[in-house]
Amino acid sequence: MNAGRDNDDSRLIVALDYPRQEDALALVRALPPGCCRLKIGKELFCAAGPELVTQCRDAGFDVFLDLKFHDIPNTVAGACRAVGRLGAWMINVHASGGRHMLEAAREALAGLPAPPLLTAVTVLTSHDAPSLAEVGVTGGVEQQVERLATLALSAGLDGVVCSAREAARLRGRFGRQPVLVTPGIRPAGSSDDDQSRTVSPGAALAMGVDYLVIGRPITRAKDPVAALMAVQDEVNRTGENLRL
Ligand code: C5P
């Protein structure tokens, strides 16, 4: 684990992918505080509003606000400042917004008393080489991920959201410093749902990922708390083996 990032060592981020605030809060209330971090995405944020971030924080959880901003630099800076003031632990933007947008986001947060970590989405996992080519990006997914990660890190961002496979390459290229956040995590025996390139929590950690985003294997489990604890056990065991 990279040192000095924060004091809480929970590497699991549970994606609260619910359409309604009540459903999200029911899970939040059932979870032991501090056992994981929570991710709030566009659907839930638009339905529940900023107050949910405060409610999760008050319940003892760090919040990754996954709103993936992408707009002109001035607008993204204002949006980052606004969500930074909510007390989110991590927020993100699209690296493809370009250097000026990325620097504006970073500078907007620098003025806050407790700025969140700022990460960049490189290439959405819904893209493949043909769909990238349709929007004018030739050369394939991996090359574009590396190009955008290089841009985001050189603009001073804290890290990137990427698949575990990309994480291994990026860790090799950029070393220990960048924060790497990875979705598509599936414990043994759980369904892949609509994720096409899943990895287990242990494998993701071995590939150099810092934070694992996991949604349906926990949120749709019969007993979400038990499912979370089972993943947490695997994370702890792997962490000990890898001496993270
Ligand atoms: O349910 P599941 O574990 O597949 O949820 C993964 C979460 O990570 C969802 O909130 C999804 O939107 C998000 N995500 C992803 N792939 C990306 C970026 C975010 O699955 N490339």
3 part of a folded domain: no
Q: Which two tokens stand for residue 182?
A: 């990875």
Contact 79, 71 (CB under 8 A): yes
pTM listed for this prediction: 0.92
53 part of a folded domain: yes
127 part of a folded domain: yes
Q: What is the mean pLDDT of the chain?
A: 91
Residue identifier of the C-alpha nearest atom 2 of ligand 1 = 215
Residue identifier of the C-alpha nearest atom 3 of ligand 1 = 215
Instruction: Tell me how many domains the chain contains.
Output: 1
Closest approach atom of ligand 1 to CA 163: 21
- The CATH number covering residue 196 comes to 3.20.20.70
Contact 183, 15 (CB under 8 A): yes
Q: Is 68 a residue of the active site? A: yes
In this predicted model, what pLDDT tens digit does every residue of 82-96 receive, in sequence order? 999 999 999 999 999
Q: Ligand 1: residues whose CB is within 6 Å?
A: 15, 17, 41, 124-125, 161, 183-184, 193, 195, 213-216
Give the residue, out of 13, 213, 219, 220, with the most ligand 1 atoms within 8 A of its beta carbon, to mutate for a pocket test.
213
Location of structure tokens 């990895």: 199
Q: In terms of residue numbers, what domain contains 153?
A: 8-243
191 part of a folded domain: yes
In this predicted model, what pLDDT tens digit does every residue of 46-66 receive, in sequence order? 999 999 999 999 999 999 999
Average the pLDDT over 196-221 and give the result: 92
71 part of a folded domain: yes
Task: Give me the pLDDT at residue 4, please.
Answer: 32
Output phi, psi for 219, to 5 deg.
Answer: -70, -25
